[in-house]
Amino acid sequence: MAQNIINTLFNSEINSETSNRIDNTFDSDFDLCAYLANAKTAVENALDGSIEVKYPEKIYESMRYSLMASGKRLRPILCLATCELFGGNAAMSMPTACAMEMVHTMSLIHDDLPAMDNDDYRRGKLTNHKVYGEDIAVLAGDALLAYAFEYIADNTQNVPSDRILRVVSRLGRAVAAEGLVGGQVVDLESEGKTDITLETLNFIHRHKTAALLEASVVSGGVLAGAGADDIKRLTIYAQNIGLAFQIIDDILDITSTSEELGKTAGKDIEAQKVTYPSLLGIPESQVQAQNLIDLAKAQIQCYGNSAIPLMRIADYIIARTH
């Protein structure tokens, strides 16, 4: 069901009256900036305590270099917010939230390597391989990936073991050939080609970008005991915001400076990658991103004011400038 919605999105329209009704339902004094700042601080404190430097120091320093390089911390925040939506708390979801950021950091380290996107900057700092060398960067990514699963298993408390197992399984699927790795392979194979279709581009980013966002959101619900229907709603919400996130990233790669992005601007054009703006143009890409956000918000409208954080995070995804 979720895949069908995304596959047909670009041929569908969201009624503006429906969109406005959704937004009006959730008018509140909710302070998104404060919410994100507080959650980010909590996540970074937890991440800082998750890895200590010991022998051999270089690998732990390399892992921490990229893990603690700030960033939006969107994936862990989504995990925390979804867990709270279903009656859970940060204590039970923080290990999984940290694991999501460890896996995301791994993907950035590897994505920046010369064999992949060959980038010099990430989050406003030199990329990991520029500081520690390609060999250590590969190993740091590998170590973060493996440690993410260990961290969930060893540190999650007051959660039934079957839920923890489901989270571990879902995270593994999000990273492997059915998720991030599969999307990256098709992305690499598509570079320089002029016949890439919108269907292929959607496949790339449903897997390379949206899969981990989906795992972050759904895992938060799983940890808190969300039911099967809730998981379906969360899946659709997450897949839609994930694809919208990528569309905005593609736009920002064209419209923003390297300083604003914290990484090299214009890399997609330089690498001859097909992007949403290259297929649809910037105005239509913005329209489709908004359509995706409206679809996502419609899925969680039934949770009332409890869903305000997830609603506003969805809005933030297409309003961001970096």
Rg of the chain on CA atoms, in Å: 19
- Residue 123 and residue 260: Cα distance in Å, rounded? 10
Tell me phi and psi for residue 269, to 5 degrees. Answer: -65, -45
Cβ(39)–Cβ(73) under 8 Å? yes
- Residue 268 and residue 247: Cα distance in Å, rounded? 12
What is the pLDDT at residue 168? Answer: 98
**Core vs surface per residue 262-285: b (16+ CB within 10 A) or e:** bbbbeebeeeebbbbbbebeeeeb
Domain encompassing residue 31 = 2-319
pLDDT tens figures, 216-247: 999 999 999 999 999 999 999 999 999 999 99
- Residue 148 and residue 157: Cα distance in Å, rounded? 16
pLDDT band at 261 (very low <50, low <70, confident <90, very high): low
pLDDT > 70 fraction of the chain, expressed in percent and rounded: 86
Cβ(273)–Cβ(183) under 8 Å? no
Per-residue CA distances from 282 to 36, 237, 277, 285, 290 (Å): 28, 23, 5, 5, 12
pLDDT band at 266 (very low <50, low <70, confident <90, very high): low
pLDDT band at 3 (very low <50, low <70, confident <90, very high): very low
pLDDT tens figures, 126-143: 999 999 999 999 999 999
- Residue 83 and residue 81: Cα distance in Å, rounded? 5
Strands (E), the chain: 121-122, 125-126
- Residue 280 and residue 188: Cα distance in Å, rounded? 21
Cβ(273)–Cβ(250) under 8 Å? no
Query: pTM of the entire structure?
Result: 0.89
Rounded to the nearest 10°, the torsion over CA 33, 39, 43, 48 is 70
Cβ(128)–Cβ(140) under 8 Å? yes
**Core vs surface per residue 205-226: b (16+ CB within 10 A) or e:** bbbbbbbbbbbbbbbbbbbbeb
Residue 299: give its domain's CATH number: 1.10.600.10
pLDDT > 90 fraction of the chain, expressed in percent and rounded: 80
Out of 61-75, 185-199, 262-276, pick the least confident. Answer: 262-276
The structural domain count of the chain equals: 1
Summary count for the chain: helices (H), strands (E): 18, 2
User: ∠ at Cα 118 (66, 55), nearest 5°?
Assistant: 35
Q: Which residue has the higher pLDDT, 26 or 275?
A: 275
| pLDDT of 23 higher than 70 | no
| pLDDT of 153 higher than 50 | yes
Tokens of 311: 């609603």
Beta-bridge partners for 125: 122
Beta-bridge partners for 121: 126
